[in-house]
Structure 1
């Protein structure tokens, strides 16, 4: 091959990689009949994130499949570490070191984009900014909670299907029923979901009484105190496959229960570990975004720990600006406050992981 032929070959754009067929656990065969392709998406958040991914594919020359896998891995990792990093940022001024399995995810993405940047210098910075913006949009989209969102709350699942079209095999679509179908199945399966929650609490109260605790069987007027007293005896209501076999089905099932029961962990969810890893990632991301399976509890525990440790270290009020990196108010500026001490600022190195997390700070 001549040098000219080699240069022409290297200049060709990379071939689009097709996503392989999903791994379907034997326990789920045969899958119920669903649409042959996903319905059109009209969620502006989905459109924005999908557009960012398209831009990244254009500027980098990388396969959309590679970018999508990177994005999902970093998003899942960032959410997993969020409670611990929130605590570390408040108390130590910097994020904690990631465990090895998460370091690998970020380092692989960083190395891939640095290699691309050798020929396209702006790519690395653009990748950081685009991923951070996409993460921020996704966080904002889930903020209202399942009880307030109208329409399909599975933004990440819709981004996934949008990025796979066109040209991918139909086996993937069985994991993405439209929201109305998933909701109808969940409603038919759990027609009295709220009553199931109160049965769980009633059983806990009975167990507490059986062990000699002076607890009323009904909460009365002070539900928070009663709930705290029976909590050690609560056996959570656990829901799993086949009701929870995709990200949209997880949220449709969760939407049947009161928000407080989801956030406190009275209702928990599981899925088949034999599901395709990508589908498991999507389910886990949605579980964290919507505070399921104890994720909100982990945040609350981190905040309580922050408050307790700050109170032990120093009785001085800690400015909210020091924790969330907001500008100081007029009466907090060093010039006007003689007792002001410079707070230690978090490390803001140029690593891909650090910059990516800038949008995930509470």
Structure 2
């Protein structure tokens, strides 16, 4: 009986060690979530909401989170009450000594940019060492703002006429009736977002992962410029340096992977913003989920992090059609079976 107990304990220990090793990465993964519309209606617990936000895939694969409330503003209480304490803790514990990768979603992209612009100054002024952030992986990034935020604020301030279509779009996006609580929606207005810490001194690569499908039957897309994922346009998610009606993050390949000249692609990018993967069938939310939603194409298949180490995606070309109608498509290996989030995580060095 003792032998059986020891054996069982040994097996459990080995399994635990294997599980830890399976999820161990060379760099620390820090999650920064996006807008949580329910907080505009009922404040709720910020930490609990942050945990629930990532439950689909990333929660168990990360080392830390930076949670923040959607009912506040980035340059105000979000910075003082939520960002600063976390950054201070990271520095004091040397958490980012091996290098940190910030994985952001939606408005988390904008929050990360504000952190990148300010963290070194804040920490040095407190007698602490700046964080070693080697890259951000921005999924459905809203750093360029969202036209839906412009719409919501305009409606709330009665500068936009209320219509059935507007009501349907905002309720689909926010999940309920628009309230007087605007919070970070002000920061997410396109003009405001693009003027918030637009040119950080730090040369941290911002790697972009982009979708092109809507969760809302297309009703929100009516108000967003260019191709979009149901919440943000490609001008923002690709990292474009201006708002526009863009159709791809790459001049050489379409969202569906077709290799051809893209005359309406994003032509200029914000500093150190590099689009990596595009998924025609991925929406704003499904980019975070473990479920595969369609093949993924690379806007770029390799980019170096600040550490010099490369993030790389293997690709292959597939031919479809015949004779004059034959076309070549570029896809990422394993994207036929793996979700976008899985492809991203697997690319992080072990």
TM range (shorter): under 0.3
Using CA pairs under 8 Å that are at least 6 residues apart, name the structure with larger relative contact order, 1 or 2. 1
Question: Which structure has greater strand proportion?
Answer: 2
Scaled by the length of structure 1, what TM-score is found?
0.24
Question: Which structure has greater helix proportion?
Answer: 1
